[in-house]
């Protein structure tokens, strides 16, 4: 991955969140398929040995994560030094206070990696390692498997309130048009990176994806070679899932 270069590089599609945990700070990075971009920095107000200060610090990290999680990115890589327990402390906080991130439709995959991720040079070094790339593959695979589970349940149910659409045109009809309160609302827009690369309607698709994000539709681009990607390919490469609010 190229990181924070002076030249313009295409970002690609969002893959995960990288969270560099230090003694007094947490630095958030958004990992795209082609680049890593800085997102936010959170500072602790106090010290880690103060339970209230640590609790508030972890809550601030959760709040900083929310915008990207809301976009549909559900893979989080926690990076911290081998001499600390920062990553596990954060995971413990999530499990104790934010079960919405560990189960149900908002389930997020958390993984730990040893290393520093607070500066561009540290992130560049970390993201070049085989360990990081392997972890990204494993974490995103777990996340997308969860999405496919949701898809398969929708396909197997006769409930008309939760529908699945299989084309760009159908997705546009659901996302671009105003839906009545009684009608199913778009919840997920899922597509493979091959569909995105091969479509002749790139401008149209990118517009749809941006509007989907603006309307809080969880948008996810899936590796075509993953089990989830192969299942999406069987269904045409793009699906839109709806749900009655």
Structural domain range at position 44: 2-141
Largest CA distance in the chain: 56
Residue 152 lies in a domain: no
Q: Is residue 135 part of a domain?
A: yes
How many structural domains are present in the chain? 2
Q: What integer pLDDT is reported at residue 158 of this predicted model?
A: 57
In the prediction, which pLDDT does 1 show?
Answer: 47
- CATH number of 119's domain: 3.30.420.60
Q: Give the Cα-Cα-Cα angle 38, 48, 96 (nearest 5 degrees).
A: 85
Res. 237 pLDDT band, cuts 50 70 90? very high
Residue with more model confidence, 243 or 233 = 233
User: Does 37 have pLDDT greater than 70?
Assistant: yes
Those residues with Cβ within 8 angstroms of residue 108's Cβ, 6 or more apart along the chain or in another chain: 69, 74, 75, 76, 101, 102, 143
The pLDDT-based confidence of 159 (bands split at 50, 70, 90) is: low
Are 16 and 50 in a shared domain? yes
């Amino acid at each position: 991955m190229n990181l924070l270069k002076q030249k313009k590089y295409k970002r690609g599609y969002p893959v995960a969140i990288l969270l560099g945990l230090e003694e007094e700070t947490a630095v958030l990075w958004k990992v795209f398929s082609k680049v890593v971009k800085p997102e936010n920095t959170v500072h602790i107000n106090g010290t880690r040995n103060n339970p209230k200060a640590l609790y508030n610090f972890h809550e601030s990290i959760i709040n900083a994560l929310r915008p990207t999680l809301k976009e549909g990115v559900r893979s989080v890589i926690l990076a911290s030094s081998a001499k600390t327990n920062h990553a596990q402390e954060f995971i413990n906080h999530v499990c104790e206070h934010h079960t919405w991130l560990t189960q149900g439709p908002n389930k997020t995959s958390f993984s730990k990696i040893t290393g520093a991720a607070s500066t561009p040079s540290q992130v560049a070094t970390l993201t070049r390692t085989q360990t990081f790339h392997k972890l990204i593959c494993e974490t995103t695979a777990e996340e997308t498997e969860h999405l496919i589970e949701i898809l398969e349940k929708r396909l197997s149910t006769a409930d008309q309130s939760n529908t699945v659409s299989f084309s760009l045109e159908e997705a546009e009809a659901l996302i671009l048009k105003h839906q009545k309160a009684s009608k199913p609302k778009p919840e997920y827009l899922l597509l493979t990176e091959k569909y995105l690369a091969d479509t002749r309607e790139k401008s149209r698709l990118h517009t749809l994806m941006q509007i989907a994000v603006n309307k809080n539709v969880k948008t996810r681009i899936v590796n075509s070679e993953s089990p989830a990607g192969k299942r999406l390919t069987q269904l045409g490469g793009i699906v839109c899932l709806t749900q009655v609010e």
